[in-house]
């Protein structure tokens, strides 16, 4: 049997088509990798903001431990980010304190609030 040879133009078209398919596949992999990297960075920044907020909460508890009547603002600056806490009296419970916390890490923000019962030792987080 005699083998038939494809004309040169058909071979060239086949190579170009396969190159295009491979190029598109490669671009899809690159774009997915970039998206995954962005999502990972966002998750890291969010986790760091939560850790910074926890640090601010601990500092607030330390202020209340030293002086249970303390109310006011405090700021904690870390290499990862910074946070601010506002300690105030609870509107209806004399032994409760409200702590509002706002943390920022690389343009990512985490806000939370806690209510603390200072009549027990150790202090108890009510909400």
- The rounded distance, in Å, linking the Cα atoms of 40 and 45 is 9
Query: In this model, does residue 124 exceed pLDDT 60?
Result: yes
Q: Which fold has domain 8-125?
A: 3.30.1300
- The answer to whether the beta carbons of residues 33 and 48 sit under 8 Å apart is no
Per-residue pLDDT of 66-118, as tens digits, reads 998 889 999 998 888 899 999 999 888 888 999 999 999 988 899 999 999 98
**3 state DSSP class of 115:** strand
- Between the CA of residue 101 and those of 23, 25, 43, 53, what are the distances in Å? 49, 46, 20, 6
Nearest one of 51, 71, 95 to 115, comparing CA atoms: 95
Per-residue pLDDT of 12-30, as tens digits, reads 788 888 888 888 888 888 8
**Residue 120: predicted pLDDT:** 87
Q: What is the CB neighbour count within 10 angstroms for residue 39?
A: 10
- The rounded distance, in Å, linking the Cα atoms of 122 and 84 is 23
- The rounded distance, in Å, linking the Cα atoms of 50 and 55 is 9
**Residue 34: predicted pLDDT:** 83
Query: In this model, does residue 6 exceed pLDDT 70?
Result: no
């Amino acid at each position: 049997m005699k083998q038939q040879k494809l004309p040169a133009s058909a071979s060239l078209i086949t190579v170009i088509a396969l190159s295009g398919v491979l190029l598109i596949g490669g671009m899809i992999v690159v774009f997915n990798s970039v998206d995954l990297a962005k999502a990972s960075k966002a998750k890291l920044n969010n986790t760091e903001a939560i850790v910074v907020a926890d640090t601010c909460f601990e500092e607030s508890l330390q202020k209340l431990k030293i002086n249970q009547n303390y109310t006011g603002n405090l700021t904690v600056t870390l290499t990862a980010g910074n946070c601010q806490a506002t300690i105030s009296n609870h509107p209806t419970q004399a032994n409760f304190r409200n702590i509002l916390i706002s943390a920022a890490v690389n343009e990512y923000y985490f806000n939370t609030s806690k209510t603390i019962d200072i009549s027990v030792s150790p202090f108890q987080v009510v909400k």
